[in-house]
């Protein structure tokens, strides 16, 4: 067994300190004056002390410790090594039957050795940290409570770039307290004054559980021109290029907790299996492909109508998973024969149906029939093809806009849910599940890319109404919950995701402006009025009266009732509708099949 280069010198230092503790124990035993005959005993037995301590430290692998990063676990390991060494030394002394040997020395020596060896390590780490946090380290203020700041301080230990000089806490009662020699200097509202007094231009946002403190810190930091950083969550470390501080992003301000997945169940569902994703080039579809690829899928079949989107996805997945079997198709879900041919060729176990038109204003005027053909017939085609090919699970991606819809897009998705339930009754071999959720940050056509582009042009940022609110989650979170729902769902169920608290769109715009380093004076916000089919708020049916709980905290099952539509009649009407049926006739037909649909007069 080969020792590290520094192990022998550090072990020699430990043994020298252990020998010093041996003489210190004799010195204390005889009140600071060792008689000559007992001094001879100490010399005679000292080799056994050194050998016993060496054996104890080596057996407990103390000799392999890195002193620069010593912590509580290493000190516990050191204590075990010293105790084992003391036991071995005592056994040797007692077996040799050394006459008149003072047995109290055998108790005093390990205590003194533990103090000396621990102090040496503490001094080493202190000097190393001072050397690392030298003149080149940039001072930084930690933003968060003492509990949250503890994790950030641990992450910065040994950093040559950052030197924590203070903490600002959302809890006023923590002011004046200290953690690892770093004092709480004020509250978040006092961040500007604290940074000015300390000569600091950077603040590090600790992992606070609530989003309100994050947003407050962002506003204060932006006004003071202080750079605000954060640390990636532990579940993001494998995806992040670095686990060090990074610039804060919009999703950090939402305070979304990481999703707890049934990893074993998902691995069993996907490992070695064939999985098909329709709409694979879209925001949710592509993330579903990334997540499924993590679980060792046997073959991933990606289907999308956009040639460019499917090409981009192919290039990304080939780089990230070069060993994965995959097939990429440019196909339209409105063509049932093409879909069935793809599924018959690959015989998938699971199908995720994410292909849809989702842009409310576009589908509300001039394109109503296209929403029905893609969202309704496309879903029905995919569900029927899955049943015909013996697919075990079919998961449809729905939307919160299907709840009490006021627009054609939402009504088309609600009708698609009903058709999936109707197919589920006819095809018991396949488990058909629908999953509803709200807006996802950064998805194509969402407000975040729009606002970012407007900010880059210098504004104005256009918000439709000062009171409009939406639910938001990140794309990876939404995809992970879709996977979890697909695993646990029973046929015909509609799952609702926990979207957290709704966010005012105007507040979202303000946060994006601040994140860009601008102010509202530099990039103004303009209100443009509600667009056709747009509601002030979205509904998720996420309360106890309209949903049932599941074993997963972020998933609930929607309680829905009412008759299911006649599948053949729906297909016949849409097929016979022509290129552009009358808008009012189309809406009237939708109201017959989706009773909760109430079309909204364009503002």
Q: What is the DSSP letter of 376?
A: I
**Residues present in the chain in total:** 603
> Cis peptide before 460, with omega less than 30 degrees from 0?
yes
CA angle 34, 36, 39 (to 5 degrees): 60
Buried b (16+ CB within 10 A) or exposed e, 446-479: bbbeebbebbeeebbbebbbeebbbbbbbbbbbb
Structure tokens at 352: 């995720």
Contact 251, 500 (CB under 8 A): no
CA angle 391, 394, 398 (to 5 degrees): 165
List 401, 413, 535, 554, catalytic entry: 401
Residue 401 annotated to the active site = yes
Please tell me the distance from the alpha carbon of residue 123 to that of residue 129, in angstroms, as a whole number.
10
Contact 484, 266 (CB under 8 A): yes
Please tell me the distance from the alpha carbon of residue 27 to that of residue 553, in angstroms, as a whole number.
63
Please tell me the distance from the alpha carbon of residue 232 to that of residue 323, in angstroms, as a whole number.
28
Greatest Cα pair distance, the chain, in angstroms, is: 115
Residue (of 416, 334, 406) closest to 363 by Cα position: 406
Residue 307, exposed/middle/buried by CB under 10 A (0-12, 13-18, 19+)? exposed
Residue 13, exposed/middle/buried by CB under 10 A (0-12, 13-18, 19+)? middle
User: Phi, psi (5° rounding) for residue 434?
Assistant: -115, 145
Per-position DSSP letters for 453-515, written without gaps between them: HHHHTT-PEEES-TT-EE-EE-HHHHHHHHHHHHHHPPTT-EEEE---S-EEHHHHHHHHHHH
Please tell me the distance from the alpha carbon of residue 550 to that of residue 260, in angstroms, as a whole number.
14
User: Phi, psi (5° rounding) for residue 489?
Assistant: -75, 150
Neighbours of 406 (CB within 10 A): 18
Residue (of 440, 378, 386) closest to 415 by Cα position: 378
Residue (of 414, 346, 338) closest to 382 by Cα position: 338
User: Phi, psi (5° rounding) for residue 325?
Assistant: -75, 135
Contact 63, 6 (CB under 8 A): no
Catalytically active residues, by annotation: 401
């Amino acid at each position: 067994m080969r020792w590290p280069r520094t192990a022998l010198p550090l072990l020699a230092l430990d043994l020298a300190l252990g020998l010093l503790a041996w003489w210190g124990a004799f010195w204390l035993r005889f009140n600071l004056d060792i008689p000559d005959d007992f001094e001879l005993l100490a010399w005679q037995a000292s080799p056994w002390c050194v050998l016993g301590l060496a054996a104890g430290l080596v057996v407990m692998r103390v000799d392999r410790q890195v002193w620069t990063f010593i912590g509580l676990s290493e000190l516990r390991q050191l204590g075990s090594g010293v105790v084992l060494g003391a036991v071995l030394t005592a056994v040797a002394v007692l077996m040799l039957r050394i006459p008149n040997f003072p047995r109290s020395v055998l108790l005093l020596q390990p205590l003194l050795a533990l103090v000396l060896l621990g102090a040496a390590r503490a001094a080493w780490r202190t000097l190393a940290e001072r050397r690392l946090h030298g003149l080149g380290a940039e001072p930084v203020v930690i933003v968060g409570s003492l509990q949250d700041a503890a994790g950030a301080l641990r992450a910065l230990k040994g950093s040559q770039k950052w030197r924590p000089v203070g903490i600002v806490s959302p809890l006023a009662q923590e002011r004046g307290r200290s953690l690892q020699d770093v004092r709480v200097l004020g509250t978040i509202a006092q961040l500007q004054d604290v940074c000015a007094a300390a000569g600091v231009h950077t603040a590090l946002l600790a992992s606070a559980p609530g989003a309100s403190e994050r947003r407050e810190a962002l506003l204060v930091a932006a006004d003071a021109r202080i750079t605000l950083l954060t640390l990636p969550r532990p579940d993001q470390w494998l995806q992040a290029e670095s686990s060090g501080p990074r610039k804060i992003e919009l999703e950090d301000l939402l305070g979304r907790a990481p999703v707890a997945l049934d990893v074993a169940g998902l691995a069993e569902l996907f490992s070695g299996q064939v999985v098909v994703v329709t709409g694979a080039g879209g925001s949710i579809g592509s993330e579903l492909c990334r997540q499924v690829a993590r679980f060792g899928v046997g073959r991933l079949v990606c289907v999308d109508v956009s040639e460019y989107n499917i090409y981009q996805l192919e290039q990304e997945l080939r780089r990230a998973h070069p060993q994965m079997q995959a097939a990429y198709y440019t196909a339209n879900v409105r063509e049932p024969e093409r879909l069935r041919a793809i599924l018959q060729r690959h015989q998938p176990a699971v199908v995720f149906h994410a292909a849809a038109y989702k842009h409310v204003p576009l589908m509300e005027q001039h394109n109503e029939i296209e929403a029905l053909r893609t969202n309704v017939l496309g879903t029905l085609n995919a569900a029927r093809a899955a049943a015909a090919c013996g697919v075990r699970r079919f998961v449809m991606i729905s939307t919160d806009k299907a709840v009490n819809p006021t627009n054609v897009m939402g009504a088309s998705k609600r009708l698609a849910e009903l058709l999936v339930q109707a197919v589920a009754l006819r095809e018991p071999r396949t488990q058909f599940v629908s999953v509803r959720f709200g807006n996802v940050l950064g998805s194509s056509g969402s407000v975040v890319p729009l606002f970012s582009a407007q900010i880059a042009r210098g504004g104005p940022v256009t918000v439709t109404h000062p009171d409009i609110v939406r639910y938001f989650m990140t794309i990876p979170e939404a995809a992970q919950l879709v996977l979890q729902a697909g695993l646990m769902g029973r046929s015909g169920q509609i799952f609702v995701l926990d979207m957290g608290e709704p966010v005012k769109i105007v507040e979202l715009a303000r946060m994006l402006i601040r994140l860009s380093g601008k102010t509202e004076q530099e990039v103004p916000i303009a209100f443009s009025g509600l667009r056709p089919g747009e509601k002030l708020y979205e509904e998720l049916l996420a309360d106890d009266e309209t949903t049932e709980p599941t074993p997963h905290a972020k998933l609930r099952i929607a309680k829905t009732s009412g008759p299911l539509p006649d599948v053949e009649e729906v297909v016949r009407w849409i097929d016979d509708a022509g290129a552009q049926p009358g808008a009012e006739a189309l809406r009237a037909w939708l109201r017959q099949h989706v009773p909760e649909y109430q079309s909204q007069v364009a503002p």
